[in-house]
Amino acid sequence: MLIKRSTFASVAAAGVLLTGSGAAVAADGAPADGAAVTANAGPSKQAKYQRLHQLTRSTTTSVKDWRRTRELAQSGVDRWGFIWSTDWCTKLADKPGGFNFKLSCARHDFGYRNYKKMMGKEAFRHSKHERRVDKAFLFDMNNQCAVQPHKTDAERRQCRKTAKAYYDRVSN
């Protein structure tokens, strides 16, 4: 495949390349999620940090990508070596008022645990990442409120109010 050097550089800077076969690979040469990884071919620290950032944003794409990456890790395909354990929102009820926030809690735990491991606990507490992970938590809960089955507008408002109370508890 012929690629102009400037095009290749800009694609590589974006972090993903396509091989001639159409298989996606990271800019560091490692295969994309779902592909086999050989021993010692793990991602660089910078690539892992960028991936963590991608998986903890307040976007529906980030949520879907996190879920897919989590499912792959749970099935044994874990190219990134992230921490996936969760305690489902420490000391907070998982389903307050019947609203299920468990996956929101799991993604929040994912962000906290992995940033703390990569940066150190104190550096994380004083970084922009803690606030961003907390905002993603609120984003996730509000999205969950929007898709609750058979809920009235009043129940959805109550769900968002409960989500905001959860957010306030974790972001203090």
Minimal CA–CA distance to 77: which of 68, 64, 86? Answer: 68
Residue 47 makes CB contacts below 8 A (sequence gap 6+) with 15, 26, 27, 28, 30
The rounded distance, in Å, linking the Cα atoms of 89 and 101 is 9
Amino acid at 62: S
Q: Which tokens is 48 given?
A: 């892992």
The rounded distance, in Å, linking the Cα atoms of 47 and 41 is 12
DSSP element (H, E) containing 46: helix 45-55
Parallel, antiparallel or unpaired: strands 24-26 and 16-18: antiparallel
Q: Catalytic pick from 108, 126, 129, 150?
A: 108
The answer to whether 129 is a known catalytic residue is no
Q: Are residues 119 and 129 in contact, defined by beta-carbon separation less than 8 angstroms?
A: yes
Q: What are the residue numbers of the active site?
A: 108
